[in-house]
Structure formats: structure tokens, C-alpha cells
A and B are shown apart, each in its own frame.
Chain A
Amino acid sequence: MSDIIRRDPRTEWIARNRLHPLYESVINANAGEVRGPTGLLRKNPHKVGFIGPNGIKRIDRLKGNGQGAGAVGRGKSSANEPVLALHQIEAPDFYIMVAPDLVGGRLTSHDKDVLGLAHKLCRTYEADERDQGRSSQGAVVAVCFGEMKEESLDLAGVDRLIHLQNDVFEGFAPEARLEAVAQIEQMYQPKHWLFPDSIHGGADLGSRLSARLGERPAVQAWQVDTQNTVCRGASSSIDITRATPRILLLLEECGDAIDETRHEAKALDVDAVEVSAVNIVDHGLMDVDPNAIPLAEAEFILSAGNGIHNWEQFHDAAKALGATEGASRVAVDDGFMPRFRQVGATGTWVTARVYVAVGISGAIQHMQGIGQCDKVVAINTDSGCDMVKRAALSVIGDSEEILEELVKIVNAHKGQVSPEGETLEKGSEHAA
């Protein structure tokens, strides 16, 4: 809520003009309650509310907070966020280490959950100590490798930060990172090591550390307190309840992300890590042809149906957009696309974030197959078809024409940003 009271010149103007058609309502907007002769607060039912634009009497229960006749429209300020309390730790008595994935240099929501859980454990240990009459304070340490773009480590609950930025840790360097965490283990003897159990490297590093230390980790853990841990096992079909070990590989939503406190994110020192023999050498990411990506894994699918007549153009469009090609059953049956491109219950169940359906009206089997897609775009001539109902954006018209325009725009865009990477930066910043 803003502290500044704003004037509404129009309301004031109406209030001054008794002949104004809205005079009555503006004056009565806040006049529902009057002091009666006895001093009691009385409600005049006739004066409650105002006549709405369609001539029906309306009661504004928002008491002027709503947009109704708002004598004083208070502008909302989003710029003015409250300053969260800072959680300060002078000299930590114990540490809980968290090694976030930092995908693309930023904390994932999984990382934030793990950090949140780390704080929960921290608080419990502190409370236990207090019960014993001792005072003890723990710090959550984020152990980060490589490039760091995250700007709000403090808001995610990082009390201390170990940031190892060195060529040996860049890219895929599991051995070097293992040496580093092993050294940190020796230096700080943390109470816990928490890793996100993810395919982004968290599970790998956590497993390596466990193997090195010879400690049995809790893997796929999702309910953790200082005593017991519940883990999924046997391909998520059983829950294993066990004593909480020192090393935990945690599932998503294992804890609640920090959102009410700020943290120091103070740097913590580590001695130089010595990386001995390296057996695994990273050669970087491969250039993957979008069409070589399995349909089920593809992130962006351009899918063709019965409504496509110019197949050459469709393939060109997929190439220009960098999309993986998909197809409806009919397109496959008619022999325009190979069977493994078929999307749907009888073909492949896809998980694409963006699914562009060109000339697909959407048989039930097809809709089942795209159930997990985030954003669906439909290009179709029939505005009443099921795909249009499902789509976030539907474009009604001739697919050939629209694809042609789209390819033009994309090519122009590519020409603009060809000195690579620039838009990527902008785009991702925009989204973050």
C-alpha cells in the first residue's frame, strides 16, 4: 500500500458540481455510516452503495478500496517493496553445505527449495541446542562453481558463499569439483551436505562425495528433519524411512524456499584446491540438430497435420525456427512424415514447452499426447476445432501464408542477431 494519498481531480470536480449525474453516488460513496442522534454509528441503508453503470444499485463492500467510485484512487506501488529482515550470523558454530545446480549461472527453484530446507534444519539444530541451554548458530553455505549470474543469493537464503571460479571447474569437471568439495569437507566439517537430486549435476556430485567419504547418502529424499528422512525408492514406488544421514540428495519441493528474510551471502575462504590426475576431459556441448532430438524430449515442436499442403515449406520452416518436427496420425498415415514423428496417445507423448500445431484440428488421441505441453500455438483454418480451444495463441488462416511470413520474420531476426548470443542474453534476462 502506498503511503501517498492521491487526489482524484475528477471525483473532486463531480463533488463540487451538484448537477453532475454522478454527484449523488460520489457523495454517498463513503456515507453509508452516520452518527445517529444518540451517538451510535448508524448505517443508512439507502445511502449505502451507488448506482452502477447499468442502472442497478451496487454496494461497494470494498469500502473505497476497490475501483468503484474511489474518491481517492490510491495508486499501487510495486516499486516500494518492504525491506526484509537481515538474518545475520557473526561467527557460525556449524555449517550446512548446499551445492546448488546453478543452471545457466542462476539458482533453480530446486536449488531454492534445498536452501530453504537447509535453513529449516539449521533452525531445528539451533532450537535443540537452546533446549539444552547452549547457544549455537549455524550458517547455510552455498558451494558454487563456475559462472554466477544470480543476483539475489541473499534472498534465497545464502548465509555464506563459497564461489570457486577457476578454469578447472568450468563446464563439466566432476573430478575437480569433487576434490573441491572434499577439501571443503575437511576444512569446515559441515553438519550436512545437501545436494539437489537432479540431472543437472547435483546428484552426480553428491554421489561422488558420498562414495569418497564412504558415507551412505539419503537419495531422492523428500521429507527431512534432523532425526528422520523419508526417501523414495524402487523407482518411486516405496517410501523408505531412515535416520537422517549427513549427506542428502533431495527431491524438488523438499522444503520451502526462503522468502521472508535476507541473508548475508558473505564469502567464505577455501584453500587452493589441488586437482590431481584428471581422467575426464570435457569437450563442450555438441551442436544438436533439432530433428535428431527424440520427440519426447524436444523442447520446441513444430507439428504438421492434415492441413499442410506445402511440405517443402513446412520442413524449411522447422529448420528456420530450429524446431523439432512432429506430425499428426493422418500426416503419417498419408506418408508425408515417418511414423516416429507421430505425436499422440498412439505415437509419442511429448513434453515440449512450446508446441506449434499447424493444420491439426486435434483428435482426442493427439490432445492426450500433448497434455504436458506448456504453450500450444495453433495455426488452423477452422476456428472451432479442439486445437484452437486448447491453444494459448490461435491463428486462423492459411497455414502456408502464415508460415511464409513467420519464416521471413525469423530470418530477419537471425540476420539481426547473427553475432551470436546477444539476444539470448537479453531474452533470458527479460524472463528472469
Chain B
Amino acid sequence: MIFDWLPSVLIAIVLMLAVVGAVRRISLWRAGQPSPVNIISGLMAMPKRYLHDLHHVVERDKYMSRTHVATGGGFVLAMFLVLCVHLFGVDSKLLAWALLASLVMMFTGAIFVFKRRRNPPSRLSKGPWMRLPKSLMTFAVTFFVLTLPAAGILPDGTGNVLLTLVLSALILVSLGEMLFGMTWGGPMKHAFAGALHLAFHRRQERFGGGRSTGLKPADLGVEVHGVSKPTDFKWNQLLGFDACVQCGRCEAMCPAFAAGQPLNPKKLIQDMVVGLAGGTDANYAGSHYPDPQGKGREPGSAKGSPTEVITAGLVDAETLWSCTTCRACVEECPMMIEHVDAIVDMRRFLTMEKGETPNKGAEVLDNIIATDNPNGYAPGSRTNWAADQNLNVMRDVKKAEVLFWVSDGAFDMRSQRILRSFVKLLKAANVDVAILGDEERDSGDVARRLGDDATFQNLAKRNLQTLSQYEFKTIVTTDPHAFHCLRNEYGDFGSDALDNVEVLHHTTYLNRLVQDGKLKLDTFKGGTVTYHDPCYLGRYNGEYEAPRELLRSMGIEVAEMERSGFRSRCCGGGGGAPITDIPGEKRIADMRVEDAKETQADLIAVGCQQCTAMLEGVVEPRPEIRDIAEILVDQLIEEVH
């Protein structure tokens, strides 16, 4: 062959360019803030994380997971062999055959990608992603032909100048996509950034079946609080944004997107990519942010650069305030991107630096600061609900088996019904329980999700200070938000108040009591029951089973909603969303009640006062809404002593 050297040279050149691109890309990420990760062990763990953790998420869509294994696996193998065979000229029939096999595998996968792309669902991005299957096939075919001589199927030197030139052109096209595009921002970037993201993920605990959902504390007293511009993110957060494969699973799960609020998690991450690399969103080819108010932002009008303020032109503040922090997007993201972290980071800037928490946000924060509860009630009236409950107060007893964390439901008449039910159950089971009484303060959940981490940290420290004075083995709370804060977020403040203390949600605790036979329950006879998983109990803390087991113990066969368990749809009450109140086309709570109606349920069982309030706010007729504690109390068989 006349231009025998040509393919190798081309491969080498593209590879060189790819390496340059990689260095450039890495430098973009490194512009972010330092975040300590162990480089070596991260890289070592990466393959396992891909095969186990990432694949676990992809596996939810069997079609896609098989396609990806074939295509991705085939490509990685093929690329490695291509380098051996064609660049370094290792002369081995075995390798050549192996290369052929992997190319066939890759081609088969690419066919399925192609089929998928013929009529893609709306959540998938179009644009460059539409040509990806073709590039994949081109790559497979090109190198297949190119490898035939090496495998001995065709004699060496087969083909003429024309063929060689054609093949060379195809090499350029396919490698351009696969290698050059990988580091210069093409669709294949996801493989490069995604792999590194797995290695250097900010929440290493998530791998291997772990759970890491608590927000990281903001640094206080620094020049800028929160994230104002892309370089204020941690470097591995930036890396995470680049890992996005634009599969749109987050978009399909996002309650705010479905309600027509101006948030689309996928677009948000892509805007972050625009920010970190500089440019506009003109090339973005997926669904945009819903635009309920008809502001009509043109695609391409979002501009950003690593050093420009994000909310000044790249992302509207309303987009950030639409999030309910329900974590459905994070749960669903195959690349394990942390959308909620990013959103709260940017909210911190808006609240702590700009003072622009929308609607009732400012008022609520002022109240929390001045009265330790979001509605500005007198702190001294926190225990009024329990006037007739004969509950021990920690200040008097100093020590109890169980500390009941009442949370701000204490001020709300509807939530008080839940609290009373729970107390009745505890008493029926003879639990040694005490409350903090007026010493308790807001857990800081709302302040933190609204971006005011200073207030959150203040509350957390004061609460920990109070807790450290008393002795107890378990904290139980009926509020999943407080539960999450106590369990996952209070640990960052260097207090030993919660060491060796088990923090439990009331459904978990009640379930234990029932399983231990401490509570006797009657059979429930009240029609169909469905169960709504609170985000902060389910996705944030992995408790899906205890509430269901409790319901089962009353003989209730839960009529599951289509979206339940880890895919449960938010009630719309998290993350301060009812406070910031960004208008959409629908209300999230309405959609959730629709979900429930589809199961023909007469009763929606809930494990959260916030969910109860949100769902009960839906106009009747709708199923009745009750906390599990309330249902239990009605079925309680009280023993006469």
C-alpha cells in the first residue's frame, strides 16, 4: 500500500490533539475551587464504580444499559486495540481478531443507538447527539476494514490509493468524533469527563451502595458566600457538569419541570457547562426551561464565562428557586451529577450576598433569625400544643430513652394532630420519652435550602449545644426534614451531642415498636390506601420499607402509585419552594394527588407534615390525607391496665 503509514499518522495526530484538548479541559475544571480527593485511589476505583454504581442506575432502562455495554465496552476495547495494532504496529493476529470482534460488538450496539435515535423521546437532546450513532458505526466499519489485512483475512497491501484515502478520511471523521470530540466538547465528552467524575466525585460515599445527601456547609466570613461564578464551584463539581450525557432522565423526573416552572435540570447542567467553558447556549439541542410567563428567552441568549456571575445572563434566578430539592434528578442521573448541591450553592450567593430570596423568603428568614421558627411565633409558645399531653421535658428529667424532636409542626394546628397521635402511640408502648420543649429550635432546614447557611449553622450549633446537655439514646421526629438535618447535616459542626445517638423517623421507630409487639393494631377497614414517599425520608435517607411495613401490619395492601419509592414525585413542599413560590403552569401538589387518584385510593398515607399540608391544600374532591401515625392511632388496640 502506498500510503501505508497514513492511518497510523492520522491516529497519532488526532490522539495528540485529543491530549491537548484533555489538558485544556482539565485546566477548565482546575479553575474551580480546591476539593480534596485521593487521585490514585479514585482512578483505581473508577472501573468498579462504572460497572457497579453507574451501571446500577443505567440498568433501570434495560434497553439502554445493554446498548451502552455493547457500544461503550466495544469502543473502549476497540480503541485500546486500535492503538496497539495500528499505532504501535503490534503484529499479532490474535489482537487483530480481538479488535474485529470488539468492533462488531460496538457496531451492534451502535445499531441500537441508531434505532433509539430515529424517534427519540423528548427528554433526549438532539443536535450533535443525533450524529453520534453514525459516527460510532463509521468508526466500527472503518477500523473493521482497516484491520482485515492485519487479521489475515485480506492480504497485506490490499486496496489502492483511493481506498486508502477514503479510509483515511473516514478515520478522520470517526476519530474526530470519538477522540477529538471527547476532549473538545463533542458528545463523547461524557465518556472522558464521566470516567474522571466517577474517580473524583465530590461525594465518594455514594459509591458502593452508600448514601451521601447532606449539604456541605458553606464557608462563612469569606469574600463571596456561595457560588457567584462558575469558578466558585469546587473543581470536581465542574468536572461533574461536564460528565452530563444529556439523557434527560432528570428532566423526566423533575417535578418543577413537569409543573411548567422554569427549571430543567438537564438544561441547568448544560448552562453550567456553558459557564465553565464560556460561550452561549446556542448549541444546546434539548428542551429548554419552561416559560410559563412567556418571557420568551431566545435559545442562544444565555451567555456565560468562568468568571461571570451566573445569574447575570446565564441562568435566571427563578430557575434556581423553582427547585424543591427533592433529589429526583440526582437519584436518576446515571453520571451521578449533584444538581441539588449546585442549585443550593448558587442560592447561597443569591441569599447571603445579594439578599434576593424571592417572595416570602426574606420574611421567613427574618422570622427564623428572630424567633427560631419560620412563621414568627413566640418561641415561648412552642410547647403549647403539648399542654394536655403530660410529656416530660428534658430540662426537668435530663435523661430519657427517646428524645422526641417535635419540629415546627408544633405551631401548626394540622401538624399538631400528627404530633398528638404520635405521642399517644409512644405512651401506648410505654416509651420513656421526653421533648426539649421551648429549648428546641427550628432545625434550620428551610434556612439552609433557601441558601442562608449562616442562619442554618447558627441554629445547628445552638441546637447541638442544647442537645449536648442531655442524655438519650435515640432521637425520633415526625418531620423528615428535621430528621435529615439531624442525621446527615449536624455532623459537620464538631459537636459530640449526637455521637452514639440513633436518629430515627417516626415511621421507623413505630415499625420497630410494632414488630416488637409493643403496639397492638387492629385491621384497617377504610378502602384503598396509597403511600406517598416523602423525599427527605425516601431519597434522602433510604427509608422506603418501614412505612410500608407499618401499613401492612394493619392489613393494608398499599396500592402503589406509578411513581413511588425512589422515584416518588415530590409534593412540592421541599426546599422552600412554597415560600419562594415560583409560578408554573400547574401545581406540583395537584399532580401528586392526580398520581394518587389513578390508584383509586381513598386515603393517601404520608409520613411528613409538610407533605400533608401540601397535599391537603389540593382542592377537593381528593383522597383523604393522613399521616401514618394518625392511621395507626385509630387502629390502636389500647390495653386496659
Is A333 among interface residues, defined by CB-CB distance under 8 A? yes
Chain B CB within 10 Å, residue with most, of A306, A329, A335, A364: A335
Is B278 among interface residues, defined by CB-CB distance under 8 A? no
Is A339 among interface residues, defined by CB-CB distance under 8 A? yes
Q: List 9 A-B contacts (CB under 8 A).
A: A306-B619, A329-B617, A330-B619, A333-B587, A333-B617, A335-B583, A339-B359, A339-B581, A364-B413
Docked CA distance A339–B358 (Å): 12
Docked CA distance A262–B583 (Å): 63
Q: Of all chain B residues, which has the CB nearest A329?
A: B617
| Nearest 6 CB-CB pairings of A with B | A333-B587, A330-B619, A339-B581, A339-B359, A306-B619, A335-B583
Distance from A327 Cβ to chain B, minimum over Cβ atoms (Å) = 14
Which chain B positions have C-beta within 8 A of A330?
Answer: 619
Distance from A294 Cβ to chain B, minimum over Cβ atoms (Å) = 14
Secondary structure at the A interface, as helix, strand, loop or mixed, is: helix
Distance from B621 Cβ to chain A, minimum over Cβ atoms (Å) = 13
Place the interface of chain B in its size category: under 10
Interface residues of B in 397-418 (CB under 8 A from A): 413
Docked CA distance A333–B589 (Å): 11
Docked CA distance A330–B587 (Å): 11
Distance from A215 Cβ to chain B, minimum over Cβ atoms (Å) = 36
Distance from B587 Cβ to chain A, minimum over Cβ atoms (Å) = 6
Q: Of all chain B residues, which has the CB nearest A333?
A: B587
Which chain B positions have C-beta within 8 A of A339?
Answer: 359, 581
Chain A 325-369 interface mask (CB, 8 Å, partner B; 1/0): 000011001010001000000000000000000000000100000
Which chain B positions have C-beta within 8 A of A306?
Answer: 619
Q: Of all chain B residues, which has the CB nearest A364?
A: B413
Which chain B positions have C-beta within 8 A of A364?
Answer: 413
Interface residues of B in 353-401 (CB under 8 A from A): 359
Docked CA distance A335–B584 (Å): 9
Interface residues of A in 261-317 (CB under 8 A from B): 306
Which chain A positions have C-beta within 8 A of B587?
Answer: 333
Interface residues of A in 205-239 (CB under 8 A from B): none
Docked CA distance A320–B11 (Å): 80
Residues of A bordering B, CB below 8 Å:
306, 329-330, 333, 335, 339, 364
Q: Of all chain A residues, which has the CB nearest B413?
A: A364
Docked CA distance A329–B617 (Å): 9
Chain B CB within 10 Å, residue with most, of A330, A333, A364: A333
Distance from B294 Cβ to chain A, minimum over Cβ atoms (Å) = 12
Which chain B positions have C-beta within 8 A of A329?
Answer: 617
Docked CA distance A329–B578 (Å): 12
Which chain A positions have C-beta within 8 A of B359?
Answer: 339
Docked CA distance A306–B617 (Å): 13
Distance from A380 Cβ to chain B, minimum over Cβ atoms (Å) = 15
Docked CA distance A339–B587 (Å): 14
Which chain A positions have C-beta within 8 A of B617?
Answer: 329, 333
Docked CA distance A364–B359 (Å): 23
Which chain A positions have C-beta within 8 A of B583?
Answer: 335
Distance from A148 Cβ to chain B, minimum over Cβ atoms (Å) = 44
Docked CA distance A330–B583 (Å): 13
Docked CA distance A330–B590 (Å): 11
Q: Of all chain A residues, which has the CB nearest B579?
A: A346
Docked CA distance A339–B582 (Å): 10
Distance from A309 Cβ to chain B, minimum over Cβ atoms (Å) = 15
Docked CA distance A308–B453 (Å): 42
Docked CA distance A156–B359 (Å): 49
Distance from A342 Cβ to chain B, minimum over Cβ atoms (Å) = 10
Docked CA distance A188–B372 (Å): 55
Which chain B positions have C-beta within 8 A of A333?
Answer: 587, 617
Q: Of all chain B residues, which has the CB nearest A334?
A: B587
Q: Of all chain B residues, which has the CB nearest A342?
A: B581
Other than the known A333-B587, A335-B583, what 7 A-B pairs have Cβ atoms closer than 8 Å? A306-B619, A329-B617, A330-B619, A333-B617, A339-B359, A339-B581, A364-B413
Docked CA distance A333–B359 (Å): 14
Interface residues of B in 608-623 (CB under 8 A from A): 617, 619
Distance from B324 Cβ to chain A, minimum over Cβ atoms (Å) = 16
Q: Of all chain A residues, which has the CB nearest B616?
A: A363
Docked CA distance A92–B49 (Å): 100
Q: Of all chain B residues, which has the CB nearest A306?
A: B619
Docked CA distance A34–B454 (Å): 89
Docked CA distance A306–B619 (Å): 9
Distance from A340 Cβ to chain B, minimum over Cβ atoms (Å) = 9
Distance from A279 Cβ to chain B, minimum over Cβ atoms (Å) = 36
Interface residues of B in 314-360 (CB under 8 A from A): 359
Q: Of all chain B residues, which has the CB nearest A363?
A: B617
Q: Of all chain B residues, which has the CB nearest A368?
A: B413
Docked CA distance A208–B413 (Å): 47
Distance from B418 Cβ to chain A, minimum over Cβ atoms (Å) = 16
Which chain A positions have C-beta within 8 A of B581?
Answer: 339
Distance from B248 Cβ to chain A, minimum over Cβ atoms (Å) = 27
Chain B 555-592 interface mask (CB, 8 Å, partner A; 1/0): 00000000000000000000000000101000100000
Docked CA distance A129–B359 (Å): 63
Q: Of all chain A residues, which has the CB nearest B292?
A: A335
Docked CA distance A156–B587 (Å): 58
Distance from A172 Cβ to chain B, minimum over Cβ atoms (Å) = 33
Which chain B positions have C-beta within 8 A of A335?
Answer: 583
Docked CA distance A306–B587 (Å): 15
Docked CA distance A329–B359 (Å): 15
Docked CA distance A330–B359 (Å): 17
Distance from B202 Cβ to chain A, minimum over Cβ atoms (Å) = 36
Docked CA distance A364–B583 (Å): 24
Docked CA distance A56–B182 (Å): 102
Docked CA distance A335–B583 (Å): 8
Distance from A384 Cβ to chain B, minimum over Cβ atoms (Å) = 14
Distance from B111 Cβ to chain A, minimum over Cβ atoms (Å) = 47
Docked CA distance A339–B584 (Å): 13
Docked CA distance A330–B413 (Å): 20
Interface residues of B in 106-151 (CB under 8 A from A): none
Interface residues of B in 176-216 (CB under 8 A from A): none
Docked CA distance A330–B616 (Å): 12
Distance from A390 Cβ to chain B, minimum over Cβ atoms (Å) = 17
Chain B 603-641 interface mask (CB, 8 Å, partner A; 1/0): 000000000000001010000000000000000000000
Docked CA distance A329–B587 (Å): 12
Docked CA distance A175–B583 (Å): 50
Docked CA distance A364–B412 (Å): 12
Which chain A positions have C-beta within 8 A of B619?
Answer: 306, 330
Docked CA distance A333–B578 (Å): 11
Docked CA distance A18–B95 (Å): 135
Interface residues of B in 413-429 (CB under 8 A from A): 413
Distance from A127 Cβ to chain B, minimum over Cβ atoms (Å) = 44
Distance from A369 Cβ to chain B, minimum over Cβ atoms (Å) = 13
Q: Of all chain A residues, which has the CB nearest B584?
A: A335
Docked CA distance A342–B542 (Å): 37
Which chain A positions have C-beta within 8 A of B413?
Answer: 364
Docked CA distance A330–B581 (Å): 14
